[in-house]
Structure 1
Amino acid sequence: MVAAGTAAILVVATVASLFMAWTIGAGSSGSTPFAPAVGARAISVMRAGFLVGILGFLGAVLQGANVADAVGTGLVGGIALSPTASTVLLLLAAGLVAIGIFTGYPIATAFTVTGAVVGVGLGLGGSPVWPKYAEIGALWILTPFVGGGIAYITARTLRHEAIPERYTVPILGGIVGLIVANVPFTLLGSGSGGGSIAATVATELPVSTAVGTGLVSVIVAGLVAGALVWDLGSGVDSAERHFLLALGGLVAFSAGGSQVGLAVGPLLAAFQGTTLPFSVSLLALLVFGGIGLLAGSWMGAPRMIKAIAQDYSSLGPRRSIAALIPSFAIAQTAVVFGIPVSFNEIIVSAVIGSGFAAGGGGVSAQKMGYTVLAWIGSLALALGAGYAVITAIELL
């Protein structure tokens, strides 16, 4: 049987994980996906909060396995996080994110959780996993340049008078369709990370897997592009709003798939690090975390949605579309490789890029500066505090 003290710590770790999931839902995953759509007046703040909660829950269950496993077991080598260590880092990271929510500044959840996990793990005597850190650092550093650059180019293309929107919007929709056809889902495929729609359908076709995957991908892209061509027949403005809302939904789904791992990854490690008279599956933890995301989105997201949508840039539908396309692509890249990623960083970078396509678009340089400092500070503070706290506990 599990000792009473260990059982009590596991209960605290579970509560801390739920709180972490709530803060994520109220903050990054709950606020950023529909913020450009709210800024473009395509959807109300309250309706956006309601939809992002449901879509985030689905993304958590269907795409959360890779990041959860990476956060729980892939950031520090040579040790397994104990229930006590998991509790410490979850409470620390959730506290920092909660401060960001209530002050109105978007603290990057991925930075705080990653810093806390690494700090606590090193404090326990673990060894750095440099290849994983290089992978994570590359994505974090490249995100502002890649996401902002793609958003800038897309926004300039959509605004170009010589390129009719009846061509550009379906082409962009086809690109999104290609991505959707090839993103992994936990319930598809035989691997732990799942399989894509294209690869799964391809196995049933009388052709090679590579040819079948390509064929299915092209079909899905064509269907999405065709739907937008048909919608454009009713008017450009309505078609752009529909496309924008669909993109917001895809980003919300991706947010759940990426961000839930930040909350349940350490909890997964805690359960694996002790002997229980019953088993706790990763899927059950993803459902648990998804419920926390949903609750946080419904209860706390509107404040942060307003901060992102109104304080950073006044967006129109075209610039919002330009911001969400690279955001969706980067988020799915993070899901595929199991990299904890900040949705605040992804969306804000894309919003800035699309804003500069319109000559600056009301982007607040001061707000951006404070936000970047908050991101760097949260990473350093979480790492240092995690190391110090767990070291003190070990000494006691």
Structure 2
Amino acid sequence: MTGIETILTFIVAAIASLFMTWAIGAGSSGSTPFAPAVGANAISVMRAGLIVGVLGFLGAVLQGANVTEAVGAELIGGVTLSATAAIIGLITAAVLVAIGVFAGYPIATAFTVTGAIVGVGIAMGGDPAWVKYGEILTLWTLTPFVGGGIAYATARLLRDESIPERLLTAGLAGIIGVIIANIGFAFLGPSDGQGSVAGTLGPGLGFSTLFGFDVGRIVLTLAIAAIAAALLWLDLGRNREVGQRHFLLVLGALVAFSAGGSQVGLAIGPLVPLIGETSIPLIALLVGGGFGLLLGSWTGAPRMIKAIAQDYASMGPRRSIAALIPSFAIAQVAVAFGIPVSFNQIIVSAIVGSGLAAGDAGVSQKKMVYTVLAWIGSLILSFVIAFGVYSLITLF
């Protein structure tokens, strides 16, 4: 293709990617992070949609590179995705996600994108990336059990009257501090990677290594954890309910940021093989993808926030806190390893787990069955449609 044809083709693919980021912002990254907070009446639906859009944009720019590169280059072997394949894969996934948004069912975005990209890749004659599929399947399989299990255990502990709630909640804030200190950010790492606060600043404290561990990193991690725990301890001491709401909003913000870092790669990853022909830097794709998430969150997320917050469980502050903690942790694991993961799967599993801690109160079993079927169906359907459409186009 000529230079002009290459640019025009990339623009069409970018428009398809923007549609996908809008659908993700409206359905997955935009709706799930603050759904428990809305369910606990800590924030309104509209305000949650506005805030999550901004935080998702920041997460996309600062943490989105790992998953983006994995989706663009690691889901299929032997071939490089063409512009046509990228467009078909993105539109297939976006349409399915959009249908879920307007139907009120949270389609697992990672399932649809993965199925669609693998579908067009196989149709191009590519080889299945079995090792990567194993990593993805492992995380997808463990997420409901690990996330739901941690949420269940945390909610039970918070309901246990023999354990001081103020002390336990402050301890949970300390755990969040440990995670924050060690998650990766683009501005702290090398040009081709990410670095954490503790990993970047810890060695500068002057401590030596001990048994192969960087003592400076450990000290800084513990210091950040202690600060987080102390701040919440003091806040809870002034007013327990207000302190719980503050913690809940902080957790929602962290999950929204993580959603941007994880979900943006699902939309712009298929464009990665094309940027070599256009000399467009990856950061430009991340900014564009973040903007799409922002638009989706602002225009379409309120509907799904309401659906998740009200239809899956009657959430109080303690159960909402229990749901968001594993959601944040699992999302950051996915970002670190570059594994596409569905935020709907993460958050819904955690909401159900925390709801079961109260004796199944408010959990709609019928809704959950439909949701799981939608997850599985979206993976299969996206693969079949993308494979079929690409094969059909190449025939003509």
2:369 alignment counterpart: 369
Summarize deviations over 1:119-175 as a string: whole Å, max 9, x none. 110110110111100000000000000000000000000000101111101100000
Secondary structure at the aligned position of 2:187 is classed as coil
Inter-partner Cα distance in structure 2 for 1:222 and 1:238: 20
Matches within 5 A, 1:1-396: 2-190=2-190, 192-208=192-208, 210-272=214-276, 275-276=277-278, 279-396=279-396
Give the AA of the match of 2:375. W
Using the TM superposition, give the Cα deviation of residue 236 of structure 1 relative to its aligned residue in structure 2, in angstroms: 1.2
Whole-angstrom CA distance in 2 between matches of 1:68 and 1:172: 31
| Identity among equivalent pairs (%) | 64
- Return the alpha-carbon distance in structure 1 between the equivalents of residues 12 and 28 of structure 2: 24
Which stretches in structure 2 are left out of the alignment for 5+ residues?
A: none
| Aligned-partner residue type, residue 100 of structure 1 | G
Counterpart of 2:128, as a letter, is: P
Contact 1:83/1:271 (<8 A) preserved: no
Structural RMSD (CA): 1.1
**1:382 Cα deviation from its structure 2 partner:** 0.7
Deviations 1:12-31 (A, max 9, x none): 10100111011110110000
Q: Please say if residues 143 and 330 of structure 1, whose CA atoms lie closer than 8 Å, have aligned partners that are also in contact.
A: yes
Which range moved further: 165-174 or 384-393?
A: 384-393
- Tell which deviates more after alignment, 225-234 or 331-340: 225-234
Gaps of 5+ in 1: none
Partners in 1 of 2:5 and 2:84 — Cα distance? 10
CA–CA distance in 2 between the matches of 1:2 and 1:85? 19
Q: Residue 106 of structure 1: CA displacement?
A: 0.5
Shift of 1:319: 0.1
Amino acid at match of 1:148: G
Letter of the structure 1 residue corresponding to residue 305 of structure 2: I
How far did 1:4 drift? Answer: 4.5
* Cα displacement (A) at 1:191: 5.9
Q: State the secondary structure of the residue aligned to 1:29.
A: coil
Letter in 2 for 1:262: L
Summarize deviations over 1:170-205 as a string: whole Å, max 9, x none.
100000000000000111121633010100102322
Letter in 2 for 1:40: A
TM-score by length of 1: 0.97
User: Match for 2:260: what amino acid?
Assistant: G
The alpha carbon displacement at 1:395 in A equals 2.1
Deviations 1:302-359 (A, max 9, x none): 0000000001111000000000000000000000000000000000000000000000
Structure 2 residue identity aligned to 1:324: L
Structure 2 distance, partners of 1:251, 1:326, is: 10
The residue identity in structure 2 corresponding to 1:271 is I
CA contact (8 A) 1:9 1:87 kept: no
Q: 1 CA distance for matches of 2:6 and 2:247?
A: 50
- Residues of 1 paired with 2:118 and 2:223: CA distance? 43
Q: Which amino acid aligns with 2:258?
A: S
TM-score (norm 2): 0.97
Secondary structure of the 2:162 match is coil
Shift of 1:3: 4.8
Code of the residue aligned with 1:235 in structure 2: it is: N
- Supply the AA of the counterpart residue of 2:199: A
1:271, distance to aligned residue in structure 2 (A): 2.5
Structure-2 change in CA distance of 1:207 and 1:2 (3 Å): farther
Retained in 2: the 8 A contact 1:165–1:236?
Answer: no
Report if aligned partners of 1:152, 1:356 keep a CA contact under 8 Å in 2: yes
2-structure distance, mates of 1:148, 1:349 = 5
Partner of 1:16, secondary structure, is helix
Distance in 2 (alpha carbons) for counterparts of 1:122 and 1:386: 10
Instruction: State the alpha-carbon separation in 2 of the partners of residues 350 and 229 from structure 1.
Output: 25
Q: Partners in 2 of 1:103 and 1:302 — Cα distance?
A: 13
Secondary structure of the corresponding residue to residue 81 of structure 1: coil
Residue 264 of structure 1: CA displacement? Answer: 0.7
SS at match of 1:184: coil
